[in-house]
Amino acid sequence: MQFTISQRFYFDAAHTLQREIEAEGSRRIHGHTYHAEVSLAGARDPATGMVIDLGLLRQRLETVRERLDHRLLDEVAGLGPATLENLCLFIANALSDLRPRLTRVRVWRDGVGDACTLDLTP
């Protein structure tokens, strides 16, 4: 049997973005509340009954959150332009050593209704 475990976190951050549409507002520093959810899949450990200890997963997510929360995303090393796609990839890369491995990263902004999902399943 394979189980999927998910955990969510959020962060508030500012950024700029070079765009052709809505260009003026995007070029100015502006901020959003971002939500992120990571999922991983694997077998349940018979000894613990868990796929992964959720406390461990929360610790790892907190380290990622600290790198993004209340930051100017333009200055976050390794992120690139602060798009939803790049945020998904940044989070996936930061957690790439988790076992079992990530299967999905989703980032969204409730305030404007945007979302991006990165599926990592083969």
Q: What is the pLDDT of residue 27?
A: 73
Q: What is the DSSP letter of 109?
A: E
Residue 10 has pLDDT above 80, yes or no: yes
Residue 21 has pLDDT above 70, yes or no: no
Q: What is the pLDDT of residue 107?
A: 98
Residue 30 has pLDDT above 80, yes or no: yes
Across the chain, mean pLDDT equals 93
Question: d(Cα 103, Cα 122) in Å, to the nearest integer?
Answer: 9
Question: d(Cα 77, Cα 116) in Å, to the nearest integer?
Answer: 21
Average pLDDT of 98-105? 96
Residue 43 has pLDDT above 90, yes or no: yes
Q: What is the pLDDT of residue 24?
A: 64
Domain extent for 41: 3-119
Q: Which CATH number characterizes residue 104's domain? A: 3.30.479.10
Q: What is the DSSP string of 83-96?
A: -HHHHHHHHHHHTT
For the stretch 44-99, pLDDT in tens is 999 999 999 999 999 999 999 999 999 999 999 999 999 999 999 999 999 999 99
Q: Report the SS3 class of residue 31.
A: strand
Lowest-confidence range among 25-34, 36-45, 94-103? Answer: 25-34
Indicate the number of domains in the chain.
Answer: 1
Q: What is the pLDDT of residue 108?
A: 98
Question: d(Cα 85, Cα 43) in Å, to the nearest integer?
Answer: 29
Given a contact cutoff of 8 angstroms between Cβ atoms, the answer to whether 37 and 4 are in contact is no
